[in-house]
Amino acid sequence: MTPEAPEASGAGHPAGLFITFEGGDGVGKTTQSALLEEWLAARGRTVVRTREPGGSEVGVLIRDIVLHHRGEVTPRAEALLYAADRAHHIETVVRPALERGDVVIQDRYLDSSVAYQGAGRVLGREEVRDLSLWATGHLLPDLTVLLDLDPSAARKRLDADDKPFDRLESEQSAFHDSVRTEYLALADAEPDRFLVLDASRVAADLATDIQGRVQSILDADAADGAVGSAD
């Protein structure tokens, strides 16, 4: 069943642009975030690049627990830890940046929790989504870039990095298949917010597509601002 789009009440922000990158581990979110940051900075935009979990001092501690803790972390506790990180991060990093008029580029947001904890941990998409919406005051991104890649191909990329897997990366293929399926369902439910791209393509080509979508948003915002000034 395709999930319904989240209630967007209170999701707006007075200025700035909020862009999130989503997808399974190894799809290239870090690469594309960096390329977009460089492109925006070259056009005079102030960019805040961040991530979840771990985009604040508190988040760094939470990240170590949810991704690297050697003992058991139960699924519900895991979901609550991600929500706690998200609540603090949005309040202390993201909203202030948006209010300054900055562009926030973020690696993972609430869609990750819906996919990983809601579907992967089988906690339920509605419960996990509602938890994150409450934690963030219903803040939704202006654009979510979903880099889609078959989990087996993503695993080969991770293997090539020759780094130890974290708790989520170490999950079995069925878990990652469920995560991917949920991500695509989320994108289908909110086509205006999501840009879905085949992550197996050349990085430069992906970057061009992302830049084109971001430019269209910036142009629309500029046009709205001009109309407002004329009024």
Query: How does DSSP assign 116-134, residue by residue?
Result: IIIIIS-S-HHHHHHHHHH
Q: What angle (nearest 5°) sits at the alpha carbon of residue 53, between those of residues 47 and 56?
A: 60
Higher pLDDT, 154 or 107: 107
Residue 225's pLDDT band, with cuts at 50, 70 and 90, is low
| Per-residue DSSP letter, 178 | H
Q: Which residue has the tokens 């008029």?
A: 101
pLDDT of residue 157: 83
| Per-residue DSSP letter, 56 | S
pLDDT of residue 229: 59
Kind and range of the H or E run holding 78: helix 75-89
3-state secondary structure of 188: helix
17-73: pLDDT as tens digits = 999 999 998 899 999 999 999 999 999 999 999 999 889 888 899 888 888 777 788
Largest CA distance in the chain: 60
Kind and range of the H or E run holding 50: strand 47-51
Q: What angle (nearest 5°) sits at the alpha carbon of residue 87, between those of residues 80 and 61?
A: 70
| Per-residue DSSP letter, 2 | P
Average pLDDT, the chain: 88
pLDDT of residue 186: 97
Q: What percent of the chain has pLDDT over 90?
A: 66
CB count in 10 Å sphere of residue 44? 6
| β-pair type (143-148, 194-198) | parallel
pLDDT higher than threshold 70 for residue 204 = yes
**Both structure tokens of 20:** 């999130």
For 83: left if phi > 0, alpha if psi spans -120 to 50, otherwise beta; the answer is alpha
| Per-residue DSSP letter, 101 | T
Given a contact cutoff of 8 angstroms between Cβ atoms, the answer to whether 195 and 145 are in contact is yes
**Residue 56: how many CA atoms within 13 Å on its side-chain side?**
15
Q: Which of 207, 226, 221 is nearest to 105 (CA)?
A: 207
CATH class of 17-230: alpha beta
pLDDT of residue 8: 43
